[in-house]
Structure 1
Amino acid sequence: MAKRPERADALRNREAVLAAADALFATSSSPHSVSMDDIATAAGVGKGTLFRGFGDRAGLIGSVIASRLEPLHEAVREAQDAAGSSPEQRVLELLDASLRFKIENRNLMALAEDVGLSSPYQAEHYGWWHGTLRTELDQVPGVRDASFTAHALLAAIRADLVTHLIDDEKMTPDGLRSALASYIDKILGSGSGSASPGARKEE
């Protein structure tokens, strides 16, 4: 049986909850301290609405991340449609885009990993990045197992590692991006890091 579309009031509640949660997570120095009660109050809905709409805290966090990622996904799709770049360069650009998103949203991404979402590897956004990266790696000469290589490269930019490097080891965002470009160049052995995004000023 086909899934029935959401009622207009349910859709409005969902959008209000996502907007409230996004704002609270963005302005809190510790997203861990933002409770479901806080989000329900800010959205002007009952707490039960949150659980009916998102299942649990992990589901809500995953939805907030998905809403933040959608513009980035669209930009990536547009870039892939543009001609001219090599698959090696597209791999670098994909990973750099993901890294920049994690740097900017590292507290929320680390929170998502903490609450589990079953496993970071089960999260919808991880599946999208892995699949997109694997498709590009399939076109890179010398890459024998594109799926494993995609997993290994994404492991280098896990949110908890990014948070540790930026917040604990005081690595600069540009320095981290440059290090990632050099790492990709060594893995692919293709000169893909010759135009390191980390060497450019962040936009």
Structure 2
Amino acid sequence: MLRSRPPRERADAARNREKVLAAAARLFREQGVEHVSMDAVAAEAGVGKGTVFRRFGDRSGLAVALLDERERELQERVISGPPPLGPGAPAAERLVAFADAYLDYLAGHLDLVRMSETAGPGARYRIGAYRFWHRHLAILLGRARPGCDADALAHALLAPLGAESVTALRADLGDERVRRAIRDVALAVATASEEG
């Protein structure tokens, strides 16, 4: 279920990619994602603008590339890490552990995730990581509640974990209240009765 690794790159292309990503990470951290242009990233990396645009397209493409390694780390923990996030715990506990781990991931990269999710209409749902998270939650929900519409419920659980939603909720409620509420929702969905 992990996204496949990109094809092997030429050595010079790989070096340029790393220079661009390092420059973008540094500028985004120092100036904020919304204040950094692609031209500034190219200048900071010491490469031509065309190199940056061809490789990443726009700032949201840079955001996706910067997030890739962090997402892979979380995916690995989901697949083979210790319980309750990894295998070996009951499905409901894994759902709550996922919500916590995903909120931690968002807390560290919220601006980049927001950029990647809002690049265009439906951008969030086209990101490979979203498809991974959705499939993982659908499997857990199917185990926790056999016969439920796990596919739809997985989307419903991921909705409040969208970067725009979390940003608004954190501003209104604060981090801890948001975390408790999302844990409660995950647990309620995982343990809800099909009756009434």
Moved more, 173-182 or 68-77: 68-77
The letter for the 1-side match of 2:139 is: T
TM-score, normalising length from structure 1? 0.81
Indicate the residue corresponding to 2:70 in structure 1.
68
Residues 54 and 96 of structure 1: CA distance in aligned 2, closer, same or farther (over 3 Å): same
1:78-129, Cα deviation, whole Å (9 max, x unpaired): 2268554101111111122112211222222222233228521111221111
> Per the alignment, in what secondary structure is the counterpart of residue 45 of structure 1?
coil
Indicate the residue corresponding to 1:99 in structure 2.
103
Aligned-pair distance for 1:4?
6.7
The 2-side partners of 1:154 and 1:133 are apart by 9
The letter for the 2-side match of 1:91 is: L
Is the CA contact 2:79–2:87 (under 8 Å) kept in the aligned structure 1?
Answer: no
Indicate the residue corresponding to 1:128 in structure 2.
132
Paired residue total: 185
Residues 135 and 83 of structure 1: CA distance in aligned 2, closer, same or farther (over 3 Å): closer
Is the CA contact 1:92–1:184 (under 8 Å) kept in the aligned structure 2?
Answer: yes
Residues 181 and 52 of structure 1: CA distance in aligned 2, closer, same or farther (over 3 Å): same
Is the CA contact 1:113–1:120 (under 8 Å) kept in the aligned structure 2?
Answer: yes
Indicate the residue corresponding to 1:49 in structure 2.
51
Indicate the residue corresponding to 2:3 in structure 1.
none
Residues 11 and 156 of structure 1: CA distance in aligned 2, closer, same or farther (over 3 Å): same
Residues 138 and 64 of structure 1: CA distance in aligned 2, closer, same or farther (over 3 Å): same
The 1-side partners of 2:183 and 2:79 are apart by 21
Aligned-pair distance for 1:153?
0.2
Q: Does 1:144 align with 2:148?
A: yes
Alpha-carbon RMSD: 2.2
Moved more, 177-186 or 135-144: 135-144
Residues 143 and 108 of structure 1: CA distance in aligned 2, closer, same or farther (over 3 Å): farther
Residues 69 and 24 of structure 1: CA distance in aligned 2, closer, same or farther (over 3 Å): farther
Indicate the residue corresponding to 2:79 in structure 1.
77
Aligned-pair distance for 1:21?
1.3
Residues 111 and 17 of structure 1: CA distance in aligned 2, closer, same or farther (over 3 Å): same
| Uncovered stretches (5+) of structure 2, i.e. residues with no partner | 1-5
The letter for the 2-side match of 1:156 is: P
> Per the alignment, in what secondary structure is the counterpart of residue 156 of structure 1?
helix
Is the CA contact 2:145–2:191 (under 8 Å) kept in the aligned structure 1?
Answer: no
The 2-side partners of 1:49 and 1:22 are apart by 17
> Per the alignment, in what secondary structure is the counterpart of residue 144 of structure 2?
coil
The 1-side partners of 2:160 and 2:44 are apart by 36
The 2-side partners of 1:120 and 1:31 are apart by 18
Indicate the percent of aligned positions where both proteins have the same amino acid: 37
Aligned-pair distance for 1:10?
0.3
Indicate the residue corresponding to 2:112 in structure 1.
108
The 2-side partners of 1:73 and 1:33 are apart by 30
